[in-house]
């Protein structure tokens, strides 16, 4: 598969999961409102407890699915599966490393994703940093 196509389909998968994450963040924040009398601040750098809560919710979705099936809903739609470099199932520790490295890829203004275009194995920076890779599943899978 061409590297540009790999990048496009992986980004499409990430956008799909991003929409799901935003919905989960809204729901998770709503769960806190009865305990804060509706005074939830947006996740800003100085609101560390809420930021950590949002990261935890993100990990429940991303890390939980990477560990259980290797696929988030966005990955399933685009037929990608996350595995270890040797093709095994991702553990929770590696899933956390993948999620945090993925955050770094975005914080670098997407440069971690563009890494796919230049990497000999078409891996993103977060794949390299976490010791994981994505494999493309056949259409009938």
pLDDT in tens, 40-51: 666 555 778 888
Distance from C-alpha of 23 to C-alpha of 20, rounded to nearest angstrom:
5
Give the tens place of pLDDT for each residue, 60-101: 999 999 999 999 999 999 999 999 999 999 999 999 999 999
**Is the separation of the CB atoms in 115 and 7 below 8 Å?**
no
- pLDDT at residue number 45: 59
- Considering the entire predicted model, what is its pTM? 0.91
E strands present in the chain: 80-84, 132-136
**Across-strand partners of 135?**
81
Q: What are 45's two structure tokens?
A: 């750098």
Average pLDDT over residues 117-138: 97
HSE, side-chain direction, 13 A CA sphere, residue 25: 18
Report the first-to-last Cα separation within the chain, whole angstroms: 18
**pLDDT of res. 60:** 98
């Amino acid at each position: 598969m061409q590297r540009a196509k790999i990048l496009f389909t992986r980004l499409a998968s990430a956008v799909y999961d991003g929409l799901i994450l935003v919905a989960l963040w809204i729901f998770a924040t709503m769960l806190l409102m009865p305990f804060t009398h509706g005074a939830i601040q947006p996740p800003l750098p100085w609101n560390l407890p809420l930021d950590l809560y949002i990261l935890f919710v993100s990990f429940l979705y991303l890390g939980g699915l990477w560990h259980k099936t290797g696929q988030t809903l966005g990955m399933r739609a685009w037929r990608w599966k996350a595995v270890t470099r040797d093709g095994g199932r991702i553990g929770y520790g590696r899933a956390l490393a993948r999620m945090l490295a993925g955050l770094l890829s975005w914080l670098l203004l997407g440069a971690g994703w563009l890494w796919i275009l230049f990497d000999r194995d078409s891996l993103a920076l977060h794949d390299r940093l976490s010791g994981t890779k994505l494999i493309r599943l056949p259409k009938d899978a």
